[in-house]
Amino acid sequence: MTLIRFVAITLLLGVAAPALAQTGRPNIVFIFSDDHAYQAISAYGSRINQTPNIDRIAREGMRFENALVTNSICAPSRAVIQTGKYSHVNGLLDNRQVFDGSQQTFPKLLQGAGYQTAMVGKWHLKSDPTGFDYWEVLPGQGSYYNPDFRVPGGQKRHHGYVTEIITDLSLAWLEGRDPDRPFLLMTQHKAPHRGWMSGPEKLTLYDGVDIPEPETLFDDYANRASPARLQEMEIGRHMIDGHDMKLKPPAGTPEDAPGMRLWLAGYGRLDEQQRRVWDAAYEPKNATFLAAGLEGRDLVRWKYQRYIKDYLRTIASVDDNVGRILRYLDATGLAENTIVVYASDQGFYLGEHGWFDKRWMYEESLKTPLIVRWPGVVEPGSVNSDMVSNLDFAETFLDVAGVAIPSDMQGRSLVPSLGGETPSDWRTSFYYRYYEQGVHNVAPHEGVRTERHKLIHYYETDEWELFDLVTDPNEMRSVYGDEAYSETHDELLAELERLKRDLQVPATP
């Protein structure tokens, strides 16, 4: 070896190696949607739609079948993800509170470790995002059309459809970032949240098609505690004609009439051209409906079809836009060293139990989709059935980046599981608690879920439910008080108390 060659190699090793260590750290693209039920993802076996781009992430990555949220509602789920801590620890119990952004969050820790960080889309934590080099977020729920975005020190409006705009902003940030440093991009969609306003080219998707109904659309809420019966989230009884059903309020309806505020917040934002396209799609369908004079179960069935089609139309746009991000990662060569995550803030009812919305500890809202692609680590097409949680996301992203996981975080890194080696002491039970008062009249509750059973306590009225998920996967019959389950009940109750002690949950009222 000549001296010159030796010096050249030494220089390469000495200078290039640390640079490689920096750029070698994986990028993280977190694509997050709002209220996207796993029942509406074909990779999860959807009977009602196709999501080819989200499915691609599953085909090339790992699909989690038991991703559970700690508190099934928008803002609290986001606070849990930011902090890796339960609601009672991060301080955000419900959608009304303001997130304390001065506390430790995983984006701050990644930023401190040299990651470029960006947050685009629905934030919903009221306070300004912290820990991000770039952020542009919807105020509150945001709007589907011509949305305003909060930016540092102000607000600006973008013209167009929100799912496309959030993706445009995400891609623009990727394009302009420092190519020599790893990044975290959080692309957080508003869709398919209520309002369910389709993008302009999806307005007639599913016209003329009947979407299958869930088995429990006409649940009578027998054999359970009283909250299931007392809720206000039934498709039949609680959806609003204008906002939910896209039936334009009659001319002259006062602006303070029920539901008008929501209608104006959605339809009221369309510009003239968008309104023409919208009306051309909905007016013929609405005329047919109004002429039919439906009642009883026929009316519920029509409402279900209207709801589910609008919901799925917004998801079709989300899926298209997931595809745009994946293609960008392919085209730029970033895909190879980028972890792509697709998840939602919680699950959702697509007519199961006759419902829309979330909040309950029942399966459809307790579980959320979670799909992760990590080339070279995750076995393509793999499926994981461990009880994982949105509580684990922060820890996972820190671990991916080689950043130490603070001991006060309450979840665990999924990195070993992503590599196919779930730790032998992984959790076998999970604590859940929902706090919000009033909205949809879902009673606050807490409980424990194991692989097979679920014990729920509605602590305000001291009512309990116990479900056997093997014999009753739709949770239609509580076996609480059933002698055959007395041993199971005692074990679950002891486990609930143990989890509350370990997680330092304050005593329930």
Residues in contact with Ca ion by the rule CB under 5 A? 34-35, 74, 345
Q: Which is nearer to Ca ion, 81 or 169 (CB)?
A: 81
Q: Which is nearer to Ca ion, 247 or 265 (CB)?
A: 265
Q: Which is nearer to Ca ion, 57 or 74 (CB)?
A: 74
Please report how close the Cβ of residue 345 comes to Ca ion at its closest, in angstroms.
Answer: 4
Strands 116-122 and 134-138, by their bridges, are: parallel
d(CA 230, CA 440): 9
Please report how close the Cβ of residue 485 comes to Ca ion at its closest, in angstroms.
Answer: 33
What SS3 state is found at 322? helix
Q: Which is nearer to Ca ion, 35 or 94 (CB)?
A: 35
Q: Which is nearer to Ca ion, 135 or 348 (CB)?
A: 348
d(CA 306, CA 286): 10
Q: Which is nearer to Ca ion, 445 or 453 (CB)?
A: 445
Check: CB of residue 133 under 8 Å from CB of residue 182: no
Q: Which is nearer to Ca ion, 74 or 343 (CB)?
A: 74
Q: Which is nearer to Ca ion, 141 or 384 (CB)?
A: 141
Q: Which is nearer to Ca ion, 95 or 286 (CB)?
A: 95
Check: CB of residue 76 under 8 Å from CB of residue 60: no
Name residue, tokens 């750029």.
23
Please report how close the Cβ of residue 33 comes to Ca ion at its closest, in angstroms.
Answer: 9
Q: Which is nearer to Ca ion, 75 or 228 (CB)?
A: 75
Please report how close the Cβ of residue 28 comes to Ca ion at its closest, in angstroms.
Answer: 21
- DSSP characters for 96-132? TSPP-TTS--HHHHHHHTT-EEEEEEE--SSSPP-S-
Please report how close the Cβ of residue 34 comes to Ca ion at its closest, in angstroms.
Answer: 4
d(CA 354, CA 348): 12
Nearest residue to Ca ion on Cβ basis: 74
Please report how close the Cβ of residue 404 comes to Ca ion at its closest, in angstroms.
Answer: 31
Phi, psi of 155 (to 5 degrees): -145, 145
Q: Where do runs of H (alpha helix) occur along 84-212?
A: 87-90, 106-112, 162-176
From 359, 434, 348, select the one nearest 35 (Cα to Cα). Answer: 348
In the numeric block, which tokens belong to residue 300? 């519920």
Q: How many Cβ atoms from other residues are within 10 Å of residue 350's Cβ?
A: 26
Kindly give the interhelix angle for 52-59 and 296-332, rounded to the nearest 10 degrees. Answer: 60
Please report how close the Cβ of residue 265 comes to Ca ion at its closest, in angstroms.
Answer: 17
Please report how close the Cβ of residue 343 comes to Ca ion at its closest, in angstroms.
Answer: 11
Check: CB of residue 82 under 8 Å from CB of residue 395: no
Task: Using alpha carbons, list the distances in angstroms from residue 372 to 35, 65, 143, 380, 400.
Answer: 18, 12, 28, 10, 12
What SS3 state is found at 190? coil
d(CA 106, CA 393): 9
Check: CB of residue 446 under 8 Å from CB of residue 432: yes
d(CA 335, CA 29): 10
Please report how close the Cβ of residue 241 comes to Ca ion at its closest, in angstroms.
Answer: 23
Q: Which is nearer to Ca ion, 390 or 413 (CB)?
A: 390
Please report how close the Cβ of residue 74 comes to Ca ion at its closest, in angstroms.
Answer: 4
Please report how close the Cβ of residue 163 comes to Ca ion at its closest, in angstroms.
Answer: 15
What SS3 state is found at 332? helix
Return the ∠ at Cα 175 (arms to 169 and 180), rounded to 5°.
130
